[in-house]
Structure 1
């Protein structure tokens, strides 16, 4: 240190002034007690809510899945005894028997898994591309785009219960709109869209796609509005057409939105419940894992342990595609 710097330091010390900024870390501000309290409150309350309403119930559900419990009485530490009536053998640890029974002797399990995977495939292959198409068309500024945006987003604003009721009237055998248009309203040739186990799943998927495409449209519209306009101008100057501009320039830039849409699509498809429960309580061709969880936990049987095992299976199924997608996405980013 030069003699001048020593002199400045000594003079500052004599005057009672703080040490020069060169001896402190620049750009770092010490938090006061009040600031720490505010930060603790802002971070602590959401963390506690997240733990209370997400993580603790998830961990509790995973633990209950290894028990044989009907929701009445306390849980015990002993293992369930074989050849003991169920009413006397309650609140004990059951091991993996709930999972084994679900996969082997529970007849609705595998149809429900298949229906959930079909639901996911329809959302990924139909609802998401349809919502993306709506977003691109509206973003191009076509005439009446505001009106179209409101019409397409209207199903998202409605509750799923109301959506199910609306489509029940449209699918009605004798006076529904669809059968009326098709001329199939008589008792002899009326199409039972919601009662026929070969048709009802696809009929409900039309309802779900009608709503989901509007949701995806809004997400992609937000992503398109955030894209730098100079990218489009540069692509046009290079001679790219509208299709090439979107897929080779705009779509890769919207990677964060694509991740959000993927996660939302998986979650919405696997937690589907309202529409099928309103239609026929999730039976006769409309079995879904979410409906089976509800019917076992709060239904007439009240098999909390078995229903919790089904809930864990649903959680694992939902985490697998999300984890694989996020892993592949971040791996490509690291490689690039």
Structure 2
């Protein structure tokens, strides 16, 4: 009997610890391959690493070089332009489309699928498709000229002053449907009793949305901004597929800057410093969001 009781206790203890036993290897691997390599990148950013990593610390030399490199300022400027337009236009289109679909139209499912479909594609596919569309010799410019407008010009893809806006066009095309889905979910979560009360009080559709519905969706707006900002900062594959960072490095982003210095110019320390700056930017966005969410949950 004593032996049976011991085995029962052991079995129960094993069952209680089974989830921890299953999750522990995955957690350990995540710590090593994610946070371990983040720590390694931070360390390399303080060294004079070139083609191969060097582990002797050299202070802030790589960061000083980074912030005196004109190409880095071009990348930051492009990131600001792209992020501002990408987030702003995607949110504007998303909320307008969500409000239209919230009217319970018959073909809502079809329209929602059409607008959500681009999000199912990778940024590589999106960039390649828009590269064909915007190519002066293949796409919109050639099509309009074939229609009888020989003076029509749309060469943004090869124009250093406008190439960054082609990335905005492709990014908005892919992500505005996702923003629409999030906003639509937020609209559908608004209490119908509140809307009925507003209608009884004589509030029109415009005042109902601007005074009641949209202000109550502040958490949804914040989530959309965080998600789109995260996509904007990580924009690497879209830039590579659409412009390759060119013409020259006119459409360079911090991610493509890091790639160029790591794998093309073999300056590992410089690339690590730019990666750390990208990480700091993401943390500056995510940490306040997490803090506000946790504080709201405690309340």
Q: Aligned partners of 2:210 and 2:169: how far apart in 1? A: 27
Alignment of structure 1 residues 311-326 onto 2, 5 Å? 311-324=275-288
Q: How many residues align?
A: 287
Structure 1 residues 95 and 244, CA gap change in structure 2 (3 angstroms): same
Q: Provide the residue aligned with 1:137 in structure 2.
A: 100
Deviation at 1:113, TM superposition (A): 0.5
Which residue of 126, 139, 143 maps to 1:163? 126
Q: Aligned partners of 2:22 and 2:184: how far apart in 1? A: 31
Q: Provide the residue aligned with 2:40 in structure 1.
A: 60
| 1:171–1:179 contact (8 Å) kept in structure 2 | no
1:123 paired with 2:103, answer: no
Q: Aligned partners of 1:163 and 1:327: how far apart in 2? A: 34
Q: With the length of structure 2 as denominator, give the TM-score of the two structures.
A: 0.84
Q: Aligned partners of 2:34 and 2:96: how far apart in 1? A: 34
Larger Rg: 1
Higher helix share goes to which structure?
A: 2
* Gaps in structure 1 of 5+ consecutive residues: 1-30, 77-91
SS in 2 for 1:108: helix
1:181 paired with 2:144, answer: yes
Q: Aligned partners of 1:248 and 1:220: how far apart in 2? A: 16
Deviates more, 1:184-193 or 1:50-59: 184-193
Structure 1 residues 230 and 174, CA gap change in structure 2 (3 angstroms): same
Q: Aligned partners of 2:252 and 2:230: how far apart in 1? A: 17
Q: Provide the residue aligned with 1:75 in structure 2.
A: 54
| 2:45–2:269 contact (8 Å) kept in structure 1 | yes
* Greater relative contact order, per chain length (Cα 8 Å cut-off, separation 6+): 2
1:191 paired with 2:154, answer: yes
Q: Aligned partners of 2:148 and 2:276: how far apart in 1? A: 44
Deviates more, 1:240-249 or 1:56-65: 240-249
Structure 1 vs Structure 2 CA RMSD: 2.9
Structure 1 residues 302 and 249, CA gap change in structure 2 (3 angstroms): same
Q: Provide the residue aligned with 1:94 in structure 2.
A: 58
Structure 1 residues 247 and 60, CA gap change in structure 2 (3 angstroms): farther
| 1:62–1:309 contact (8 Å) kept in structure 2 | yes
Alignment of structure 1 residues 227-306 onto 2, 5 Å? 227-283=190-246, 284=248, 285-299=250-264, 301-306=265-270
1:307 paired with 2:287, answer: no
Q: With the length of structure 1 as denominator, give the TM-score of the two structures.
A: 0.76
Structure 1 residues 97 and 188, CA gap change in structure 2 (3 angstroms): farther
Deviation at 1:93, TM superposition (A): 2.0
Q: Provide the residue aligned with 1:4 in structure 2.
A: none
Deviation at 1:176, TM superposition (A): 0.9
Structure 1 residues 183 and 99, CA gap change in structure 2 (3 angstroms): farther
